[in-house]
Amino acid sequence: MIKKTFTPAPMVFALGAFLTLSACSDQPADQAGEPDPTLETDTAMAETAPQDLIARAQGLEAPTPEQRPQEITQHGETRVDEFAWLRDDDWQTVMRDPSVLQADIRTHLEAENAYYNAVMAPLEALEDRIYSEMRGRIKEDDASPPERDGPWFYYTRFREGGQYPVFARRPADENGEMSGEEQIILDGDAEADGIEYFDLGSVEHSPDHRYMAWAVDTAGSEFYEIRIRDLQTGEDVATLTDEGYGSLEWANDSRTLYWVWRDANNRPKRVYRQAMDADEAELIYEEADDGFFLGVGKTDGDTWIVLSASDHTTTEMRVFDANDPAAEPILVSERESGVEYSLTEAGGQIFVRTNQDGAVDFKIMTAPLDDPRRENWSDLIDHRPGVLVNGLVGYQDWLVRMERANALPRIIVRNLADGEEHEIAFEEEAYALGLDGGMEYAVDMMRFSYESPSTPEETFDYDMASRERTLIKRQEIPSGHDASDYVVRRLMAPARDGEMIPVTLLYREGTALDGSAPLMLYGYGSYGITIPAGFSVSRFSLVDRGMIYAIAHIRGGMSKGYQWYLDGKLNSKTNTFNDFVDSGRFLVEQGFTTEGNIVAMGGSAGGLLVGAAMNQAPELFAGVIAAVPFVDVTNTMSDPSLPLTPPEWPEWGNPIEDAEAYRYIMSYSPYDNVTAQDYPHLLATAGLTDPRVTYWEPAKWAARVRTRRTDDGLTLMRTNMGAGHGGASGRFDALKERAEEWAFALMTVGLADAEAAQASVESAEAGENSAGN
Q: What is the 3-state secondary structure (H, E, C) of 640-682?
A: CCCCCHHHHHHHHCCCCCCHHHHHHHHHHCCHHHCCCCCCCEE
d(CA 115, CA 714): 11
Strand pairing class (468-474; 458-463): antiparallel
**Does residue 290 contact residue 647 with C-beta atoms inside 8 Å?**
yes
| Rg of the chain taking only CA atoms, in angstroms | 26
Q: What is the pLDDT of residue 723?
A: 57
Confidence of residue 246 (pLDDT cuts 50, 70, 90): confident
Residue of 604, 669, 729, 760 marked catalytic: 604
d(CA 228, CA 213): 4
Average pLDDT over residues 544-559: 97
Instruction: Look up the pTM and report it.
Output: 0.89
**Does residue 687 contact residue 217 with C-beta atoms inside 8 Å?**
no
Residue of 30, 128, 579, 690 marked catalytic: 690
d(CA 12, CA 290): 15
pLDDT at residue 20 tops 70 = no
Q: Listing from the earlier edge strand, what are the strands of the sheet with 166-171?
A: 147-149, 152-157, 166-171, 183-187
Q: What is the pLDDT of residue 549?
A: 98
Average pLDDT along the chain:
91
**Does residue 718 contact residue 685 with C-beta atoms inside 8 Å?**
yes
Instruction: Give the whole-number percent of the chain exceeding pLDDT 90.
Output: 81
Establish whether 725 is a catalytic residue.
Answer: yes
Establish whether 383 is a catalytic residue.
Answer: no
Residue of 383, 553, 681, 725 marked catalytic: 725
pLDDT at residue 10 tops 50 = no
Average pLDDT over residues 343-370: 98
Confidence of residue 27 (pLDDT cuts 50, 70, 90): very low
**Does residue 142 contact residue 28 with C-beta atoms inside 8 Å?**
yes
Residue 199's nearest CA partner among 724, 595, 745, 574 is: 724
Establish whether 342 is a catalytic residue.
Answer: no
SS3 content of the chain, % helix, strand, coil (to 5): 25, 30, 40
d(CA 349, CA 396): 9
d(CA 153, CA 146): 6
pLDDT at residue 52 tops 50 = yes
* DSSP characters over 561-601: -HHHHHTTSGGGTHHHHHHHHHHHHHHHHTTSS-TT-EEEE
